[in-house]
Structure 1
Amino acid sequence: MALRACGFIVFRRLVGSPPPPGNVEYLLLQTSYGEHHWTPPKGHVDPGEDDLTTALRETKEEAGLGAEHLRVLEGFAKKLRYEVRGRPKEVLYWLAELRDPGTVVTLSDEHQDYRWARLEDACALARYKDLQDTLREAHRHLEAQQD
């Protein structure tokens, strides 16, 4: 059975920046373990917990951003499948906007750094193609909403 995790691609819109979607930055967290890779906030589903609750709980635990800080966007959900140490893993991401772009991120011990980055910088940090594709797909979703 695949490990299952859920999280959010969190973004913020910067005031006084270029028009959308050029004013968008994505939140990536750098793990404090392993290869110190960069990832959106996410985590494993607890028994009896639904996926969206997991995403909210993990984002609060890992970045200090709770439901009161986020607006979950309709129409975007992306499932990634890959292997971790020889075991299948499935991660479901939703897209969530930070309501106040000035909200401070508070990291848990699981992460050593965080960065807000525009799309291409976020993709460079992300390193893994499936996550890069997911970030680009999220960005296209935001662009389509501007039309």
Structure 2
Amino acid sequence: MVKTATGFVIFRTISNKIEYLLLQTSYGVNHWTPPKGHMDPGETEMQTAYRETNEESGLKPDDYKVYEDCKQTLNYDVKGKPKIVIYWLAKLVNDKAEVKLSHEHIAYKWLTLQDACQVVEYEETRTLMKNCEEYIKSHNLA
């Protein structure tokens, strides 16, 4: 059975710059990733994305707007086993919302695409973020 995780690529616009929320894991090589997590039995993909984003970042569904038509699926192996990760783009709409990390993460950053691509370890995640930036610009969401 393939493990499936879902989450959101959350962005905000500050001083006309698009910034993305990345979380640094507290395990393994401490890689940087958008909020995401594994599906629980009986959950839909979207329910998982909302739950995991809240658990990992403290952000609530009212804090951001999800663009369901900007959905991307990543397929890769973890320890020799296939994994699927589904992301949707989301815009932070509550500028007073505070990120509150769970025990699964040790740090967070809001980074431009260029800076995010420097800290993100995996090419699949860099491509994901570049695709999100293209969507944001082509739909005038910034």
8 Å CA contact retained: 1:13, 1:101: no
Quick one: distance in 2 between partners of 1:138 and 1:130? 12
Quick one: distance in 1 between partners of 2:118 and 2:51? 27
1:4 equivalent in structure 2 = 4
Post-superposition offset of 1:144:
0.3
TM-score, normalised with respect to structure 1: 0.92
Instruction: List, as ranges, runs of 4+ consecutive aligned residues in structure 1 with deviation greater than 6 Å.
Output: none
CA RMSD of superposed structures (Å): 1.2
Superposed, which structure 2 residues align to 1:73-92 within 5 Å?
A: 73-92=67-86
2:55 equivalent in structure 1 = 61
8 Å CA contact retained: 1:6, 1:52: yes
* Structure-2 change in CA distance of 1:24 and 1:102 (3 Å): farther
SS in structure 1 of the partner of residue 37 of structure 2:
strand
Gaps of 5+ in 2: none
AA aligned to 1:13 is T
Post-superposition offset of 1:101:
2.9
SS in structure 2 of the partner of residue 115 of structure 1:
strand
Q: Does 1:128 align with 2:141?
A: no
Gaps of 5+ in 1: none
Quick one: distance in 2 between partners of 1:3 and 1:74? 22
Superposed, which structure 2 residues align to 1:1-147 within 5 Å?
A: 1-14=1-14, 17-18=15-16, 23-146=17-140
SS in structure 1 of the partner of residue 139 of structure 2:
helix
8 Å CA contact retained: 2:8, 2:53: yes
Post-superposition offset of 1:74:
3.7
AA aligned to 2:6 is C
Post-superposition offset of 1:8:
0.2
